[in-house]
Homo-oligomer: A and B are copies of this chain.
Amino acid sequence: MKYKMKHKTISLLIPVLFVLYTASFAQTLLPSARPNAAQQALIKRGYGMFIHFGINTFADVEWSDGTLPVEKYHPTQLDPDQWVRVAKEAGFRYVLLITKHHDGFCLWNSRYTTYDVAASPVKTDIVKAVSDACKKYGIQFAIYYSLWDRHAPSYREKDPQRYINYMLHQLTELFTGYGPISELWLDGGWDRRPEQWGIDQIYKLVKKYNPACAVSVNHTIVNEEGKRTFTRPSDMTQDNRYYFQYFPSDFRLWDPQLITKFDKKQYLHEGRSYYLPFEHTLCISKRWNWFQKSEQLPVRDLDELEELFYWCTDNDNALVVNVPPDNTGRIREYEANAAIALGKRLGLSPHKPLPRNGRFISFNRPASATSAWPAEKDRYDASHINDGKLDARWASKDTLASVELALDPAEAFNKITIFEYQDVKGLSDGFSQIRIPRIRKYSVDLLPPSGEWQTVYLSDEPMGDCKVIRFPKNYRARKLRLKILDASAPPSINEICVIRMPEGR
């Protein structure tokens, strides 16, 4: 009994000491080639559950314009404890909650607006319920807050400071009323010039109340200082080449894009270089589906989620996966199952570092194809299949095409992942999409160190967004070939990764 008391006291002390320790470092963002305390904490937590919930959930839309009546918001079985319980069971280390989206509807009882849950038929303070559940389950709490606000009257006033003050008031409510907040995710900055959002004021306020909180604004980085010319995360392969659009930001955001495997961390602001990790966003749904829809949508394959998990977290970056509650106010059971199954498959544990993918042996090895779709420069060349970018691609001109990778025969491998480019069809809501694969039948062939080509894998099933082939043994090869045996159109591949996993994984 005595021991237990002691243990508890120490447990309580640790976060206090941590806050005291980090307070002296994290107040401002300083030029550095290494992560500061807030960034280290972000990298360490690494894997969060994004929760989109709000008035849009009840209107079957992604965005609304701030005029939906508060009466619309009406969950029938609201259970925020279930959201966080699912997050915990799935091995997420933080929950990132929408507190206010572009529509301006607030998920807490805000003194500064009546467009909030308190004015709705179901008055539960969602921010309180979720932050309480995070304390209960021992996982970190983070918030999303939209800069762009299509409801607040102050937003339309001539002096931008009036709306900035509104935000500062609301963020004070959030940062003083709900315990520690590990991240602030700001969005919608495209609606005004960067300097009109008062980012520095917001940043200062946040750090005053919570020095360890990591702050960022979506589309953090630009190509040219002071201009809105964007660089995609898949192009950020150079240190000190790109610039802050929003300063200060403690990490980079570019929802929902994925970084290059050669992601660099040094970014410039007024001639000085800052370390900036990246936080990715993914939907557990196969379609981009942020706010839950009334139609039940299929979730991504576990194989694909596993590979994307590695892609997004391996390189000292973070990933949030959106698992949105539906209009009953609960996370759907089949989506919870997918998230929990993924966590079990990855062996996630709060006491262990996040697992990493195996060793990639294919990047930038010589690649060639039977043909390439004619386009400017090398846009669809075979070299794109192993350039570490999930958005660049090889596109063939012929339908029964092949693409080859020259490998180092000294390097063993036992896993191949193939990201097929799929045709995307936008749905009528303007956000959702369905993806249509082209490849119907294919083989993976190897040219061994000596001897002839052999087929090591053959399939006539759709690849999904990411096909993972695990071999029961290690191979070595001079060349690897993906051979398309049947397709509905000339095939196109974003990336082929040849990987060596450690024994037993």
Q: Name A's B-contacting residues (CB within 8 A).
A: 89, 286, 296-299, 301, 332-334, 337, 340-341, 344, 441, 443, 454-462, 464, 470-473
Contacts and interface: CB of A to CB of B under 8 A. Distances in A.
Contacts of A298: 441, 458-461
A299 B458 contact: yes
24 contacts: A89-B472, A286-B460, A296-B455, A298-B441, A298-B458, A298-B459, A298-B460, A298-B461, A299-B458, A301-B461, A333-B454, A333-B455, A334-B443, A334-B455, A334-B457, A337-B456, A337-B457, A337-B471, A337-B472, A337-B473, A341-B472, A344-B472, A461-B462, A461-B464
Given A297-B458, A301-B461, A337-B456, 14 more contacts: A296-B458, A298-B441, A298-B461, A299-B458, A332-B455, A333-B454, A333-B455, A333-B456, A334-B443, A334-B457, A337-B471, A340-B473, A344-B472, A461-B464
Contacts of A299: 458
Contacts of A286: 460
B441 A334 contact: no
The 3 closest A-B pairs by CB, nearest first: A340-B472, A341-B472, A333-B454
Contacts of A296: 443, 455, 458
A294 to B, nearest CB: 13
A441 B299 CA distance: 12
A235 to B, nearest CB: 33
A89 B454 CA distance: 19
Contacts of A332: 454-455
A340 B458 CA distance: 15
B341 A470 contact: yes
SS class, residues of chain A in contact with chain B: mixed
Contacts of A473: 337, 340
A241 B481 CA distance: 56
A32 to B, nearest CB: 41
Contact of A458 (B89, B334, B455, B471): B334
A335 to B, nearest CB: 9
Contacts of A297: 458
Contacts of A464: 461
A447 to B, nearest CB: 12
Contacts of A456: 333-334, 337
Contacts of A455: 296, 332-334
Nearest to A448: B333
A341 to B, nearest CB: 4
Residue among A334, A456, A470 facing the most chain B CB atoms (10 A cut-off): A334
Contacts of A301: 461
Contacts of A471: 337, 341
Residue among A89, A458, A471 facing the most chain B CB atoms (10 A cut-off): A458
A298 to B, nearest CB: 5
Nearest to A444: B334
A223 to B, nearest CB: 39
Nearest to A454: B333
Contacts of A344: 472
A296 B457 CA distance: 10
Nearest to A342: B472
Nearest to A328: B452
Contacts of A472: 89, 337, 340-341, 344
Contacts of A341: 470-472
A98 B455 CA distance: 25
A496 B381 CA distance: 47
Nearest to A434: B460
Contacts of A462: 461-462
Contacts of A443: 296, 334
Residue among A344, A454, A472 facing the most chain B CB atoms (10 A cut-off): A472
A332 B297 CA distance: 39
A454 B335 CA distance: 11
A301 B461 CA distance: 10
A471 B345 CA distance: 12
A351 B332 CA distance: 44
A440 to B, nearest CB: 11
Nearest to A343: B472
A292 to B, nearest CB: 13
